[in-house]
């Protein structure tokens, strides 16, 4: 897949282009694309390969809108999404940190995969009441909850454009990447 002469910066550029999308057109997402996104999620790494997540792939727009209603404003991406993947996690008080970490890994894989497919995706983050409402809507058992729902769809033209000015979307490299040890000031 890679050649010795390829510039590493070029090879990782598709990853740097992944961005959160929160506004989608009405065009539905193909079933094959949703299967590929779910596969990207379930092939994520996890602590001791324990695979804590179970994914619910949702295409019913009524369900997606009800999920959006329960968690505004952090579920805004679900208002126009034509598909969604809920990442459900077991309720295990001793594993909260590990599960949040694995959940983040799976969410990131799905965002990256969506970008590779030319789709847009954005994380809807549920807290408190939104989480309980979503659990009821999806029929989750008591030992499982949902906090991340990845909103998926075809991005609008506006959503395809960068939201920040050039150089503004992230802190500069010299403030975030250090060599060998923490810098002494």
14 counts as binding a second copy under rule CB under 8 A: yes
132 counts as binding a second copy under rule CB under 8 A: no
Q: How far apart are CA 107 and CA 85, in angstroms?
A: 9
> Which range in 65-73, 150-158, 174-182 contacts a second copy by CB under 8 A?
174-182
Pick from 21, 23, 44, 159 the residue near a second copy by CB under 8 A.
44
Pick from 91, 92, 141, 162 the residue near a second copy by CB under 8 A.
141
| Residue 136: Cβ within 10 Å count | 11
19 counts as binding a second copy under rule CB under 8 A: yes
169 counts as binding a second copy under rule CB under 8 A: yes
DSSP 109-162: HHHHHHHHTT-EEEEEE--HHHHHHHHHHHT--TTEEEEEEEEEEPBPHHHHS-
Residues 76-105 that bind a second copy (CB under 8 A): 88, 96-98, 100-105
CB of residue 29 to a second copy, shortest distance in Å = 10
Pick from 108, 131, 132, 156 the residue near a second copy by CB under 8 A.
108
Cα atoms in the Cβ-side hemisphere of radius 13 Å centred on 7: 4
Pick from 142, 157, 165, 180 the residue near a second copy by CB under 8 A.
180
| Residue among 126, 104, 116 nearest 46 (CA) | 104
Pick from 61, 65, 90, 125 the residue near a second copy by CB under 8 A.
125
* Distances, alpha carbon 179 to alpha carbons 49, 53, 91, 173, 176, in Å: 31, 35, 39, 11, 10
Pick from 26, 60, 91, 129 the residue near a second copy by CB under 8 A.
60
């Amino acid at each position: 897949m890679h050649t010795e002469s390829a510039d590493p910066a070029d090879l990782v550029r598709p990853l740097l282009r992944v961005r959160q999308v929160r506004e989608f057109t009405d065009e539905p997402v193909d079933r094959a694309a949703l299967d590929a996104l779910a596969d990207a999620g379930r092939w994520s790494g996890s602590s001791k390969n324990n695979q804590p997540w179970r994914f619910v792939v949702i295409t019913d727009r009524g369900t997606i809108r009800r999920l959006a209603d329960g968690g505004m404003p952090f579920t805004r991406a679900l208002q126009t999404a034509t598909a969604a993947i809920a990442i459900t996690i077991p309720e295990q008080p001793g594993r909260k940190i590990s599960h949040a970490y694995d959940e983040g890994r799976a969410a990131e894989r799905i965002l990256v995969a969506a970008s590779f497919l030319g789709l847009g995706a954005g994380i809807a983050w549920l807290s408190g009441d939104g989480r309980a409402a979503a659990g009821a809507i999806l029929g989750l058992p008591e030992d499982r909850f949902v906090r991340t729902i990845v909103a998926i769809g075809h991005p609008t033209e506006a959503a395809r454009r960068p939201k920040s000015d050039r150089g503004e979307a992230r802190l500069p490299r010299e403030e975030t990447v250090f060599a060998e040890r923490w810098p002494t000031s």
